[in-house]
Amino acid sequence: MLARTAIVSRILPFSCVDGPGNRLVIFLQGCNFRCPGCHNPHTIGRCDHCGDCVPACPSGALRLDEGKVSWQADLCSQCDRCTDLCPCQASPKTRVMSVAEVLAQLRRYASLLTGVTVSGGEASTQLPFVVALFTLIKADPELARLDCLLDSNGSLAPAGWQRLLPVLDGAMLDLKGWRDGVHRALTGYDRERVIASLKLLARCGKLAELRLLHVPGRSDFLDGEGGLDAGLCAFLQSLGPVSIRLNGFRHHGVRGEALDWQEASREELERLAKALIDKGFVAVSLPALI
């Protein structure tokens, strides 16, 4: 039986940066990566109801009831003190939502939307919910025209992708480091599963976008002479035609050690873009602003 609920961090009714067109975006809570440079660190963990955040809440929006932290949205001032001090990088402001509740929100905005994107956190950690949601969207005459995208770190196992593929229009995956040691330093996770996911999705025609994150002094996409790393180049070529988006590391939302990392400049991203284009990759895009 398909799962009908998920822990939702927030729902964004309209977005033009989470896939093509105008999209409703569902951010699910919880991630299996531990990226020091995460821009949404409060979506990594899941609340264990320790209660540390309750006395720190200046508006009284948080309470500890029968051993569980509860959040009252109408009292919340959105100061984010609770997420700043959470020891497990979680948020007490999440909601458990059913597929039916998400579909009800989707129907409110459907006439203005191009599609739906499920993001996170890492959306695939709540895969049964995603499969159920996309399945019902595809089966609904009013919603079936909306394309269903997944924003993912690529850690899902092949068996998981096989469950999702029949109702998935495309996935947008990050590759945050090429060599395994660099990838592990930037994510806390080996790259093997990510590489396998990229290959599988490309083979099935479901790789909507591959994103490379440039972190100055830490990324390894270029060789010592400023050209594209030969191994990375061969891998990207093996995927066939692929849309590549370049992102540059910024301090926005970041906590901890990565606040001391250097931010990426426009010039650095343009050099990486040129290195890709010089090797024949024409579908390369940069952030609108950096």
pLDDT in tens, the chain (290 residues): 456 899 999 999 999 999 999 999 999 999 999 999 999 999 999 999 999 999 989 999 999 988 899 999 999 999 989 998 888 889 999 999 999 999 999 999 999 999 999 999 999 999 999 999 999 999 999 999 999 999 999 999 999 999 999 999 999 999 999 999 999 999 999 999 999 999 999 999 999 999 999 999 999 999 989 999 999 999 999 999 999 999 999 999 999 999 999 999 999 999 999 999 999 999 999 987 65
Residues 109 and 145: their CA atoms lie apart, in Å, by: 13
As beta bridge partners, residue 118 has 26, 150
CA atoms within 13 A on the CB side of 155: 19
Q: What pLDDT is stored for residue 179 in this prediction?
A: 97
User: Cβ of 51: how many Cβ atoms within 10 Å?
Assistant: 15
Q: Residue 246 is inside which H or E element, if any? A: strand 244-248
pTM exceeding 0.85:
yes
Say yes or no: domain 5-42+95-285 is CATH 3.40.50.300.
no
Give 49's contacts (C-beta < 8 A, 6+ positions apart).
Answer: 64, 67, 68, 69
Q: What pLDDT is stored for residue 289 in this prediction?
A: 61
CATH of domain 47-85: 3.30.70.20
**Cα four-point dihedral sign 90, 95, 99, 102:** negative
**Cα four-point dihedral sign 176, 179, 185, 188:** positive
As beta bridge partners, residue 171 has 150, 207
Q: Are 44 and 38 in contact (CB under 8 A)?
A: yes
Tabulate helix, strand, coil % of the chain (nearest 5): 35, 20, 45
Surface-to-core class of residue 87, CB atoms within 10 Å of its CB (0-12 exposed, 13-18 middle, 19+ buried): exposed
Residues 127 and 244: their CA atoms lie apart, in Å, by: 25
Domain boundaries, the chain: 5-42+95-285, 47-85
Q: What pLDDT is stored for residue 67 in this prediction?
A: 87
Residues 182 and 193: their CA atoms lie apart, in Å, by: 15
Strands 95-98 and 147-152: unpaired
Q: Are 146 and 110 in contact (CB under 8 A)?
A: yes
Q: Are 52 and 87 in contact (CB under 8 A)?
A: yes
